Amino acid sequence: MDGGERRAAIARYLEESEKPVSAAKLARTFSVSRQVVVGDVALLRAGGMEISATPRGYIRAGRATGLRRTLACCHSAGQMANELNAIVDHGCVVVDVIVDHPIYGQLTGPLQLASRYDVSQFIARCQEYAAAPLSQLTGGVHLHTILCPDESAFHRTEDALRKLGILLEDSGE
C-alpha cells in the first residue's frame, strides 16, 4: 500500500469510527510507525479533511449530534473533575475547552469527553504529564462547548454547575 492509498484508508477508518482513534492504533492497523500516521493525518488536514486531535485520539470533526451549547465556567484546577463529571452525568458531551489568552487570542483544546470513564482518563493524563489545564492561563475562566441530547439536559447541567459554584453567570454589574 503506498502513501496515497494508506491516507485514503485512514480517512475511511476515521469516517467510520464513532470514537476517537489513537495514532498508535492506526499505526498498528496499517503497519507503519506512529510518526507516519501523524504525517498522514497532517496531509489529510492540509487536503481539507476536518480531523480533530483529542486526548484519546483522532476523530472526524462535526460527527457528533445534539444541541450545541456553550457554558462559561470558573474554577480551580482541583475542581476540574467535578466540573467535567457534572456535564457528562447529565448526558452531555464536553466537546472542547476555550480560553481567551491575552497574547494568542482564543485557544481551543478539543476534549470529546462523553462519560465518567473519559473524564477519569483525561484527568489521569493531566496528572501523568503534570499538565495544567488551559483555564489556568486565564485565572480559571473558560468556556466549554457541549453537546446535549435536549434542552432539559442542558438546563440540568447548568443547575449542577451552579450548585458547584462553577457556572460563571452575569451578575448584572
**By the 8 A CB rule, do 169 and 74 touch?**
no
pLDDT category at 81 given cuts 50, 70, 90 is very high
Q: Using one digit for the tens of pLDDT, what is the confidence trace for 21-71?
A: 999 999 999 999 999 999 999 999 888 888 888 777 888 876 556 788 999
- Whether residue 111 is found in the same domain as residue 144: yes
- Whether residue 71 is found in the same domain as residue 28: no
Q: Note whether residue 118 is domain-resident.
A: yes
| CB-based burial label for 103 (10 Å; 0-12, 13-18, 19+) | exposed
Q: Note whether residue 172 is domain-resident.
A: no
Report the distance separating Cα 28 and Cα 37, nearest Å. 10
Return the closest-CA partner of residue 112 out of 34, 17, 46: 17
Residue where the block lists cell 494568542: 104
pLDDT value of position 62? 61
**Overall size of the chain counted in residues:** 173
Return the closest-CA partner of residue 13 out of 32, 119, 66: 32
pLDDT value of position 49? 86
- Whether residue 81 is found in the same domain as residue 159: yes
- Whether residue 153 is found in the same domain as residue 82: yes
> Number of folded domains in the chain?
2
Identity of the amino acid at 141: V
User: Grid coordinates in use for 72?
Assistant: 462559561
For the ranges 110-114, 125-129, 152-156, 168-172, the lowest mean pLDDT is seen at 168-172
Q: Using one digit for the tens of pLDDT, what is the confidence trace for 141-153?
A: 999 999 998 999 9
Q: What percent of the chain has pLDDT over 70?
A: 96
Q: Note whether residue 26 is domain-resident.
A: yes
- The CATH number for 90's domain is 3.30.1340.20
pLDDT value of position 72? 95
Would the pTM of this model clear 0.75, i.e. be above it? no
The domain of 141 spans 67-163
Q: Note whether residue 168 is domain-resident.
A: no
